[in-house]
Every structure is written in structure tokens, then in C-alpha cells.
Amino acid sequence: MLAKIAARNNNFIIYSAICLIGFGLYFKSLFFGFTYLDDNELVLNNLRFLQNPWYVFSAFFEDVFHTSFNSASYYRPLLTISFIPEAILTGANSFLYHAANMLIHIGAACLAFKIFLKLNYSKTISIILGIIFLVHPTLAQAVSWIPGRNDSLLGFFIFASFILFLNFIEKKGIKFLVWHSIFFAFAIFTKETALVFPVLCLAYLWAKELLSKNIIIRLSACWLVAILIWFILRYIGLNGQGAISAQEAAFSVIKNMPASIQLLGKAFMPFNLSVLPIMQDTTFVYGFFSATIMALLAGLEIKNRQKPNDNLRMMLFGALWFALFLLPAFIKAPSSNPADFIEHRLYVPIIGLFIIIAQSRIIKFIEINYRNWLLYSGVIIIIGFLTINFLHQNNFKNKMSFWQNAADNSPHSPLAQKNLGAMHYLEGNYYLSEKYSKKALEINPYETMAHNNLGLVYARAGRFEDAEKEYLKELSFNYSYDGGHYNLGLLYYRMGYVDEAKKEWEKTLEINSDYKDARIMLDSLNKK
């Protein structure tokens, strides 16, 4: 009894240390603003939804962007619901959104530490891996970028569900099975990536040679109930549509699979970080080096394997954890833009890499024979990662910092160049806005909203004919862009073409009946 009390107190100290380190590392992110990558759509433009407490229920019947005219067909209701308390309390003030992100990440790091303990790794290894997870630079985006919460929230629910799964296997208590199922349901309602989780649970049972008909039936029944409820509500919420077809998904996975090497490299050597990385502008060097190291660890294990093969099986389980949770990151809808591979997509998959490392023969040998070396090496890695993370966070400070980093590190991304131009426009730097908008169009002549942004610059400068040409170019291939029609209407109004302006604003409302400014302008015309 006394030993259990001492162990609990010891773990409490470790959890407290994780909380303190996490708070100290991410404290400055509390004062960051919005980046205008998704957070403007998910939060700022939808405060009228989020500030209504009853939207907790409506969120289960809409896509994550809350609007039918600009739907990305992503069904993630718990992400939406997670923004509601902050929206009610502080509206467009970013402080509480960032505070919530930080708390979720710290909680997930505590659960990661618990997972390593539950997998019977030593307390030293569990602490080192738990803190590395906490401070890992590639996961900074999940904390410092408000929409990054999608992956940290997913991680929190997956980690909790896995711990409860382990408790169920160990203790056979029905309460653990029920709570495991509840957290699994939370995970799939946060992000569809969680659908791979049952496969990993079965893989764990295989690795530990615990497969039994009774366990599989009970687990499968719970998973099927959760997935069925999710499927029905998702079908209703998205009107039976998805973001991408199965054929397109398979093609995009094959096309984007090389990015897995780059992400693997960033997991071990996070030295070339970017807020919006694309494959073309990211090196493979670190990835090939990391893949070689992992292959050597696996080869050593295969060469010296003994029966039972529990160690090798668990390494395979770790590899499967990494691969399956990373796989959805390569599913991209068809686009003329190069696909981005945002680094915090490693949030859940990276646990699989930690499992492989903890199971490796080399780590176990060092722990037994050179325990202090292991400890010192862990401290050095933690300090190094913490430093990189602390500096990298500055790129999420505000919209200008974010898009400047995106444009600098992804020079072949038209999205990065275009949005940096848009941020300069908002800041009143019209020369730079024109420069980066043109740069985006040099990369991709059909980059959506780039011509519109140029039109805004020219209209402000009084170059009405040039502005009209840009707006018309935009609408020639992006006809359903409500903002383009609205801006063209404003231009015609300023030029004295009232009838043409009225037609454009009517088109705006046909596309998006919620476009408030267009309705105001039409109402003012009708009153004259």
C-alpha cells in the first residue's frame, strides 16, 4: 500500500513537471493573434454561430466550416464545439483560444507519458519520451496555430481511449470498455483519421498474443456502434457528400507518399520547419537519414530475434501506428496548388516512432548498461527541441509572421505568395500586396482570389479599368466566388454603373444568401 502511494505521489510530481514545462514553453503563445489560415473561417467569420450555446447540437449536422456555399465537406463537430466556450466568453479575442490549445496539448503529453508507462517502459524512458512529445518542434503548430487544435484534440481522445483499452485488456472491467468506446467516439467526431484506431487495437492484441474471440466481439460491437452513429450524423450533416472520392483519395496517397520521408526526417531532425511546407521546397536529406536509422534498428532486431518475438511484434505495432495515423495526411482533394504537409500532422503518428525506439535493442542495452548516458542524452535532446520549438513559435505570432514564413520557406506555393500579398493589403502595404499577388499568378495563373486581390489594389489606386480586368479574370474561372462578384459590384458602383453593380450583388446573394454587405448595398439601392 505504501509503495502504491509513493508511486502515485512520484507520478504526480512528473505530471506537475510536464505541466510546468509546457506552460513555460508555450506561455508566449497566449498572446498570439489569428493567422488567417482557417482560423478566420472557423472562428472569426462564424462568431454568430459559435456564440450561440445551442450550436452545440447544430454542429453535428453541418460541416466544419458551418456554411453550405463554401463547404470543404469536412465533418468535425467536436472541433467546432471546442471553440464555443471561448467564442461566448471573449468573441474575437484570441487569448482564450490559445490558452485552450495549450491546455489540450499539456493534457495530451500527460496521457502520452501514461501510455509509455502502461506499455511497461521504465519510468526514465517514459519521462524522456513524454517530455520530448511535449516540447517537440513539429507539434508547435498544434498549439500556436488555433486550428491546429484539431490534431491535439484528436491526440487527447486517442491517447485516452488507448489507455482505457489497455486497462480493459488487463483488468477486463466493463467500465473500461465503455469509456474506451466513448473516447473513441469523441475521436472520430473530432477527425475522421480516428477510424484507423480499431485496426491498431487489434494489432496490439496480435503483438501481445492476446487475441481472443470474446475480446474481439466485445470490442468490435462497441466500435461498430460508435462508427454507425458517426456515419449517420455525418451523412445527414454533409448531405451524403464527401470531400473526395475513393479513387481520388487513392491517387493522392500514391502521389503524396514521398512526403512521408520528409515528415519522418522532421520527427527526428526538426531543422527545416515551415508553417506551410510543400514537397517541392522541403529537403529529403533528413528523412533518408532517419529512415536509414530506423531500418538499422529493425534489422538488428530481426537478426537477433528470440522467441517469443514480443519485441519485434511491438516494433511492428509502432510502425503500423505511425503509418496508419499518417496516411490520411496524404489524402488531398484535386487542386492546381501543390499539396501542403503541415508538420503537426505528426501529432498522433509520432507516438508510433517513440514505441519503435523504446522497444529497440540498442535503447534497452544503453538503459541497462549506461543509464546515465541515456538520461543525459535525453536531457540534451529535450533542451535542443525546446529551444527550436521556442523560436519556431514566433512564426505563428500574427498573420504577417505566419504568411512571411510560408512565402519564404515555400517559394513555389502560390497560396503562400497570394496570402502574403493579401496580408500586406490588410496592413496598407499596397505595393507589396501587388508584388506577391503577381508572384502567385506567375506560379499559377489560375490561383483563386489572386486576380481579385490585384483588383482590390488597383481599385484603391483609382485604376478602375485595370481593376475591372482583374475581377473579370477572376470570375472567368472562379465564377462561384461570392467576394469577386461583390467587389466587382462595388467597382461598378464607384464607376457610376448602378445597374451593373446591382446585378453583381444579386449574383453574390444567389451564391451566398448570408453575404451581409451585398444585402445592405442592395437595400440601399432599392430605397433610392
Instruction: Say if residue 425 is in the same domain as residue 485.
Output: yes
Instruction: Say if residue 462 is in the same domain as residue 316.
Output: no
Q: Which of 125, 121, 122, 189 is nearest to 161 (CA)?
A: 189
pLDDT digit string, tens, across residues 77-128: 999 999 999 999 999 999 999 999 999 999 999 999 999 999 999 999 999 9
Residue 402 lies in a domain: no
Residue 4 lies in a domain: no
User: Which residues, in sequence order, are bridge partners of residue 340?
Assistant: 278
Which of the two residues, 147 and 237, has the higher pLDDT score?
147
Residue 164 lies in a domain: yes
Grid coordinates given for 373: 548516458
Instruction: Say if residue 86 is in the same domain as residue 53.
Output: yes
Instruction: Say if residue 85 is in the same domain as residue 117.
Output: yes
Asked if 409 and 277 touch (Cβ cutoff 8 Å), the reply is: yes
Grid coordinates given for 316: 511492428
pLDDT value, residue 69 = 46
> Can you give the CATH number for the domain in which 523 is found?
1.25.40.10
Residue 1 has pLDDT above 50, yes or no: no
Residue 427 has pLDDT above 90, yes or no: yes
Instruction: Say if residue 187 is in the same domain as residue 228.
Output: yes
Instruction: Say if residue 285 is in the same domain as residue 391.
Output: yes
pLDDT digit string, tens, across residues 166-225: 999 998 889 999 999 999 999 999 999 999 999 999 999 999 988 889 999 999 999 999
Instruction: Say if residue 364 is in the same domain as residue 513.
Output: no
Instruction: Say if residue 388 is in the same domain as residue 427.
Output: no
Measured CA to CA, the distance from residue 291 to residue 165 in angstroms comes to 30
Domain-ending residue, one of 346, 361, 396? 396
pLDDT value, residue 333 = 75
Instruction: Say if residue 262 is in the same domain as residue 358.
Output: yes
The structure's pTM equals 0.93
Asked if 230 and 189 touch (Cβ cutoff 8 Å), the reply is: yes
Instruction: Say if residue 113 is in the same domain as residue 149.
Output: yes
Instruction: Name which of 291-295, 362-366, 390-394, 487-491 the model is least confident about.
Output: 362-366
Residue 3 lies in a domain: no
One-letter identity of residue 217: I
pLDDT digit string, tens, across residues 21-58: 999 999 999 999 999 999 999 999 899 889 999 989 99
pLDDT digit string, tens, across residues 4-22: 544 556 789 999 999 999 9
Measured CA to CA, the distance from residue 132 to residue 382 in angstroms comes to 6
The domain in which residue 139 lies consists of 14-396
Residue 8 lies in a domain: no
Instruction: Say if residue 277 is in the same domain as residue 370.
Output: yes
